Amino acid sequence: MSKTIATHSGMFHADDVFAVATLLLMYPDANVVRTRDEEKIRSAEIAVDVGGEYDPAKMLFDHHQQGGAGVRGNAIPYASFGLVWKQFGEQLAGPEAKQLIEEKLVMPIDAHDNGVSIYTPMFDRIKPYTITDFFYSFMSYEEEGEEYLMEVFLKNVGIAKELLKREIDKSRDKIDGMEKVRKIVDAAADKRIIILDEVLPWEQILSLTPESIFVVYPRREGNWGAKGVPLNSIGFERRKLFPENWAGKTGGELAEITGVSDAVFVHRGRFMAVAKSKEGALELAKIALNA
């Protein structure tokens, strides 16, 4: 028999959308009921974001009860998505990918749902566009009623399922790619310029490798890039920038300034340079390293 997943009726939020989406990846034939009727909630095999109880053994995943449902080591409390992901994330993604998705997607959604800010606004009225904003873009100001909300909720759950599947696949690929980068770094005699011969997720590994200043890599456009390694995995500041007189230069002008015949352009922010060949990109990085 298919399971019934009960969640609350009325307005939905990103945490219940993703919690239900995760459960539907586990139980594709499950039936979703949105209700606040306590009898219907008790009769469901799974209750999410409703019911006033957290007990994974009983498939109860609420966090609104007094005392909540636990807090992570970084002080972000669990919301329904986090509770469900904590229970099923490893089965769906594996342990390492589970943690990557926990940090990238689950924690920010749980923080928002619990009223915990994870960033400091720098500009008046300007804030990041969130997954919640995206979900609410499907809402009409004119339409109302539970039937309409159920329709939009299920549409967003479908989107969340696809997003989760893509993030699971991408996280697994990232883990494999990061391991390749580790091996390349370990084998490099000179770690100041790391050369990658394929597109790999290098940022996190190299930001933790203090000797690394630049990375040379193939670009999807078919040419080659050289980038400054960031000071950390979340910031924009680089350990070293390309020379100031290269900023914004392109084509023949850049080739003349640098002496690299196939130089294509240098970003005006000076964190990236591009050449037509691997050798050209490497030469740009070497010149910048010694500048």
Looking at residue 201, its pLDDT comes to: 96
Do 139 and 195 lie in one domain? The reply is: no
Residues 166 and 200 placed together within one structural domain of the fold? no
Is this structure's pTM higher than 0.75? yes
Do residues 101 and 142 share a domain? yes
Give the span between the Cα atoms of 185 and 223, in whole angstroms: 22
Task: Please give the torsion angle defined by the CA atoms of residues 194, 198, 202 and 203, in that order, rounded to the nearest 10 degrees.
Answer: 100
Give the 3-state secondary structure of residue 153: helix
Do 120 and 251 lie in one domain? The reply is no
pLDDT at 59: 98
Q: Which residues pair with 71 in a beta bridge?
A: 77
d(CA 256, CA 263): 9
| Same domain membership, residue 106 and residue 57 | yes
197 and 140: one domain?
no
Q: In what order do the strands lie in the sheet with 4-7?
A: 31-34, 4-7, 46-48, 60-61, 54-55
Q: Spell out the residues 6+ positions from residue 180 whose beta carbon is closer than 8 angstroms to its own.
A: 198, 200
Cβ(169)–Cβ(145) below 8 Å? no
Domains contained in the chain, number: 2
Categorise residue 201: left if φ over 0, alpha if ψ from -120 to 50, beta otherwise: beta
Sign of CA dihedral 197, 199, 202, 203: positive
- Tell whether 239 is covered by a domain: yes
- Give the neighbor-by-neighbor strand order of the sheet with 214-218: 193-195, 214-218, 224-228, 272-275, 263-266
Write the pLDDT tens digit of every residue in 46-73. Answer: 999 999 999 999 999 999 999 999 999 9
Structural domain includes residue 263: yes
| 222 within domain boundaries | yes
Task: Tell me if 182 is assigned to some domain.
Answer: no
Contact 73, 48 (CB under 8 A): no
Question: What was the pLDDT predicted at 191?
Answer: 98
Residues 26 and 144 in one domain: yes
Residue 241 lies in a domain: yes
**Alpha carbon of 261 to those of 243, 248, 253, 283: distances in Å?**
17, 17, 10, 10
Predicted pLDDT at 232: 85
Smallest CA-to-CA distance from 128 within 112, 113, 148 is with 112
Do 235 and 256 touch, CB atoms closer than 8 A? no
CA 284, CA 272: separation in Å to the nearest integer? 10
CA distances for 168 relative to 23, 105, 175, 187, angstroms: 14, 11, 11, 29
For residues 83 and 153, membership in a common domain is answered with: yes
Q: Are residues 92 and 37 in the same domain?
A: yes
Helix (H, G, I), strand (E, B) or coil at 84: helix
Ranges in the chain, pLDDT < 70? none
What is the per-residue pLDDT for 288? 98
Residues 52 and 136 in one domain: yes
- Same domain for 229 and 281, yes or no, is yes
Domain membership of residue 228 as a residue range: 189-290
What contacts 244, CB < 8 A, 6 or more positions away? 270
**Does 176 reside within a domain?**
no
User: Running DSSP on this structure, what letter comes out for residue 238?
Assistant: B
Question: Is 93 inside any structural domain?
Answer: yes
Whether 181 is in a domain gets the answer: no
- pLDDT score recorded for residue 182: 98
| Strand blocks (E) in the chain | 4-7, 31-34, 46-48, 54-55, 60-61, 193-195, 214-218, 224-228, 263-266, 272-275
Does 155 share its domain with 222?
Answer: no
Amino acid 174: pLDDT:
97
